[in-house]
Amino acid sequence: MDQTELRQKLVELKTEHRDLDAAVAALLERSPSNHVEVQRLKKRKLALRDRIRQIESLLYPDIIA
């Protein structure tokens, strides 16, 4: 992937992460007892966060001078 594709993927992943955050909040508000679904969404959020960090490290390497 080139820089442009990585940046676009990063935007998509961040949007999906935000959407999942809203979905978790809405689910907890509607049905606080649905722990299985909440945990599933939270695991997906963690996976997205990991992928976001991977892409960010490719785009913005941490160079210590």
Q: What is the CA radius of gyration of the chain?
A: 15
Q: What is the pLDDT of residues 4-56, one digit of tens each?
A: 999 999 999 999 999 999 999 999 998 878 889 999 999 999 999 999 999 99
Per-residue pLDDT, 34: 84
**What pLDDT sits at residue 61?**
84
Task: Return the domain boundaries, the chain.
Answer: 3-59
Helices 3-30 and 35-59, axial angle in degrees (round to 10): 160
